[in-house]
């Protein structure tokens, strides 16, 4: 589901807490939030062995251990400190992301931090803080959206735990997220969220395929592949809308006309989803995403996770193995961003 794509992942913005002197409310809330996460983290074997642990939680933690071992042994992902601990935060999300764009632009605003580079969202451990930032941006005229984030990665700099926010997910999403976050620890390019997310998503997809086969559940592959097709259809639908809006905003027409046409484009997007929904046989997984009043910020929030996926899927197919794919991706990572995007995001303008 689209909310999954946006909310499941947050990259290494929390690293700034450990990398720079703290100043200002934003850094203080980040440091306090990360400290609370670490204080709540317990070794997974200890939680499993605790008689007070509910059976459903114990089963998920055992599954997480198996998925982590599979990621290391079968996907050549890092055997670091991540997903060795469990943290029950007592809330539905680990953090909340703010994504913003100018009113007449599809380009997201970016915030820059050490290690993570410049990223297209700003994360908060406190929902009230995220909503307050969103209101300030909206008062300045921006399109803004706030989304809950169920898990995030500090790229191995800190011992990232498994959160209670993940436990209710279906198995392919649950283990896929572990593969995805460990892939960020394998390769990360500061300041290039689109490439980083595409790389991790392609590793996740291949990892889930291998996981199902290894566990004797190849029959489930068809349903998983169908979900990836729907995901690609959704991404293409939004990419087309962004391209039309980008052309509209660059047309030089008066702002009042642009605002009217902007709303027409979002109406058109919702209508196209209804056609796509029928093509999917009535699949309703994206209904909640389209039920909102949409804006440029919603398109930007999803774009980060999809723009370079088709190109990196081609790279994996050409590589023939995950290790060769990692090598090819590492070469791409050393290129200037324009060259890298020309190579793997050819469907989109650089």
Q: What is the mean pLDDT of residues 129-153?
A: 95
End-to-end CA distance of the chain: 27
**What is the DSSP secondary structure assignment for residue 218, as one 8-state letter?**
G
Do the domain assignments include residue 217?
Answer: yes
Do the domain assignments include residue 255?
Answer: no
Q: In 3-state terms, what secondary structure has residue 18?
A: helix
Query: What's the number of domains the chain is made of?
Result: 1
CB 73 within 8 A of CB 322: no
Do the domain assignments include residue 62?
Answer: yes
Burial of residue 63 (number of CB atoms within 10 Å: 0-12, 13-18, 19+): middle
Do the domain assignments include residue 280?
Answer: no
Tens digit of each residue's pLDDT (9 = 90 or more) over 167-219: 999 999 999 999 999 999 999 999 898 899 999 999 999 999 999 999 999 88
pLDDT at res. 347: 57
Do the domain assignments include residue 299?
Answer: no
CB 101 within 8 A of CB 143: yes
Which of residues 153 and 131 earns the better pLDDT score? 131
Q: In 3-state terms, what secondary structure has residue 104?
A: coil
> Residue 233, Cα to own-chain centre: how many angstroms?
17
Q: What is the mean pLDDT of residues 292-314?
A: 89
Count CA atoms closer than 13 A to 86's CA, side-chain side. Answer: 24
Lowest mean pLDDT among 151-155, 201-205, 304-308: 304-308
Lowest mean pLDDT among 247-251, 257-261, 269-273, 309-313: 309-313
Its domain, for residue 16, covers 2-223+305-344
- Give CA–CA dist 231/239, Å, rounded: 12
Do the domain assignments include residue 234?
Answer: no
Confidence of residue 11 (pLDDT cuts 50, 70, 90): very low
Do the domain assignments include residue 268?
Answer: no
Which of residues 164 and 350 earns the better pLDDT score? 164
pLDDT at res. 267: 97
Confidence of residue 115 (pLDDT cuts 50, 70, 90): low
DSSP letters along 77-102, please?
Answer: ---SSTTSEEE--SSS-SEEEEEEE-
Do the domain assignments include residue 231?
Answer: no
- Give CA–CA dist 32/42, Å, rounded: 18
Say whether pLDDT at 255 is over 90.
Answer: yes
DSSP letters along 181-205, please?
Answer: HHHHHH---TT-HHHHHHHHHHHHH
- Give CA–CA dist 334/336, Å, rounded: 7
CA angle 164, 166, 169 (to 5 degrees): 135
Total count of residues recorded for the chain: 350
CB atoms closer than 10 angstroms to residue 169: 16
Confidence of residue 118 (pLDDT cuts 50, 70, 90): confident
């Amino acid at each position: 589901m689209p909310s999954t794509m946006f909310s499941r992942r947050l990259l290494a913005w929390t690293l700034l807490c450990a990398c720079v002197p703290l100043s200002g409310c934003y850094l203080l809330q980040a440091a306090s939030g990360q400290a609370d996460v670490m204080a709540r983290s317990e070794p997974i074997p200890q939680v499993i062995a605790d008689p007070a642990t509910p059976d459903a939680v114990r089963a998920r933690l055992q599954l997480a251990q198996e998925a982590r071992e599979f990621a290391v042994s079968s996907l050549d992902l890092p055997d670091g400190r991540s997903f060795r601990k469990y943290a029950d935060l007592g809330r539905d999300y680990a953090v909340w992301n703010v994504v913003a764009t100018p009113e007449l632009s599809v380009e997201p605003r970016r915030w820059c931090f050490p290690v993570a580079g410049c990223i297209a969202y700003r994360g908060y451990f406190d929902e009230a803080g995220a909503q307050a930032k969103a209101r300030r941006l909206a008062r300045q005229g921006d399109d803004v959206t706030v989304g809950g984030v169920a898990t995030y990665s500090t790229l191995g700099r800190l011992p990232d735990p498994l959160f209670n926010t993940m436990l209710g997910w279906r198995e392919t999403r649950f283990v896929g997220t572990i593969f995805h976050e460990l892939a960020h620890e394998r390769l990360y390019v500061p300041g290039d969220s689109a490439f980083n997310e595409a790389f991790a998503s392609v590793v996740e997809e291949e990892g889930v395929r291998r996981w199902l086969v290894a566990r004797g559940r190849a029959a489930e592959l068809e349903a998983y592949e169908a979900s990836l097709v729907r995901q690609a259809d959704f991404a293409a639908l939004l990419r087309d809308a962004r391209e039309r809006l980008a052309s509209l905003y660059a047309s030089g027409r008066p702002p009042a006309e642009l605002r009217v046409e902007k709303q027409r484009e979002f109406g058109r997007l919702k209508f196209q989803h209804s056609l796509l929904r029928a093509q999917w046989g009535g699949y309703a997984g994206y209904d909640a995403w389209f039920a909102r009043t949409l804006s440029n910020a919603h398109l930007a929030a999803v774009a980060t996770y999809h723009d370079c996926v088709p190109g990196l899927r081609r790279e994996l197919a050409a590589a023939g193995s995950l290790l060769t794919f990692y090598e090819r991706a590492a070469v791409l990572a050393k290129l200037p961003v324009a060259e890298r995007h020309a190579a793997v995001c050819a469907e989109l303008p650089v």
